[in-house]
Amino acid sequence: MKNQETLSAWIEHTVEMGTTSVEKIHKAIAGLPLEVIERNGLWEDAAQDVRKLQEQSIGAVYDVIREVNHQVAEFAADLLGETQTTQDS
């Protein structure tokens, strides 16, 4: 942890990085069946529509996780009496 970085900011950043990693893995795994469908030319238009909806819904879930993470970090900083420098992504 850097000297200027507070404990709550460090935890927030760590959770953010983990969330981003899990989101990328989630999207990659969720997209595998759609890749097979698209590659074989089966229901290609439907697969593209599903892919868009899937990307939006997965993204929305992880956006909520990030917002909760941010709010918890602010709350923790207040409890710990820290001056927090936010790292919005």
Instruction: Give residue-wise pLDDT tens across range 25-63.
Output: 999 999 999 999 888 887 888 988 999 999 999 999 999
> pLDDT-based confidence at 89, cuts 50/70/90?
very low
> pLDDT-based confidence at 3, cuts 50/70/90?
low
Q: In this structure, how many other beta carbons lie within 10 angstroms of the beta carbon of residue 19?
A: 17
Q: How far apart are CA 33 and CA 20, in angstroms?
A: 22
The residue ranking higher by pLDDT, 8 or 67, is 67
Q: In this structure, how many other beta carbons lie within 10 angstroms of the beta carbon of residue 74?
A: 16
Confidence check: pLDDT of 85 > 60: no
Confidence check: pLDDT of 1 > 70: no
Lowest mean pLDDT among 11-20, 21-30, 78-87: 78-87
